[in-house]
Amino acid sequence: MRELSELLQYQANRLMVKSNQLVLVRHGESEFNLKNLFCGWHDAPLSAGGIEEARSVAAANLNRAKMTFDKVYCSKLCRSRETVEVILSEMKCSFLPIVSDWRLNERHYGNLTGINKRALANEYGEEMVQCWRRNYDGLPPAIDTSNIYYYQIANNPAFQEVPPTEFPLTESMRMCVDRVSPVWLEIKKDIQKGTRLLVVVHGTIARSLIKLIEDMTEEQIEKVNIPNCVPMIYDFNIKTGKLNGGLKYLGDLEYIEKMKKKVAAIGD
């Protein structure tokens, strides 16, 4: 009887809540991030540093803020799922339902996949590389069979649900926003139901969601940089679905700014 009473009280309290929070997290450093390689749809695992980021940056800050969740969204790429697993383990909530959706996969970087960013900048110039990375319509050359990762990506069983007509060979950010938009509508419905969500995705996908959430211009979103594993919080009015204020970061501000600059740079 006591458990039933507590459950009813919990449900009653939830009905009285007028706002709900969404937490976005970019996955931890991957093996390709570590080597400064374009990754995209290649299924690179987390590096040892990325696992530590998921534990000591994402999970630690979420625990410190006493955040709780009902449901998790992530992509089909293992670096996203591995980050989720570390966070949930550290938060003692590995039982939470996880929605793994290919539409939340990172942007496909086409034939740039597996190539060092600095080497590309040396060959094509920094302006060209930054155009591929940051310009809203910047479109890398399509991947083809000459790329050593072509068949690994094309034959990845994790992507079986991707319709053949929608399987990308390259993507701009505009194309990513279009891909993510239907998922954002599903996430928004969950938010308005009062479901507390953790969404663990990728740099360009986090930026795509931020653009949709804040209705940013193309020029504004091009300047946004997403550090690995830093929790980002939005607060929504449950009734209207509108934002209550802007994006808030959890963590040490000096560290966050340092990591933003690292993401913005082409690197070595």
> Measured at the alpha carbon of residue 51, what is the angle toward residues 45 and 56, in degrees to the nearest 5?
155
Q: Mark whether 106 is an active-site residue.
A: yes
Q: At what angle do helices 203-214 and 173-192 cross, to 10 degrees?
A: 60
The runs of H, that is alpha helices, within the chain are: 2-16, 31-34, 48-53, 60-64, 78-90, 117-124, 126-134, 150-154, 173-192, 203-214, 218-222, 253-264
d(C-alpha 184, C-alpha 173), whole Å: 15
Q: Residue 230's CB: how many other CB atoms inside 10 A?
A: 21
**Binding site per annotation, positions:** 26-33, 79, 106-109, 117, 133-134
Of 27, 42, 82, 202, the catalytic one is 27
Residue 162 CA to residue 168 CA, distance in Å, equals 9
Annotated binding site for substrate: 26-33, 79, 106-109, 117, 133-134
Enumerate residues 6+ apart whose C-beta is below 8 A from 27: 46, 50, 54, 77, 79, 80, 82, 83, 200, 201, 202, 228, 229
Q: Does the active-site annotation cover 90?
A: no
Q: Which one of the listed residues 53, 106, 171, 202 is annotated catalytic?
A: 106
Longest dimension (CA), the chain: 71
Active site residues: 27, 106
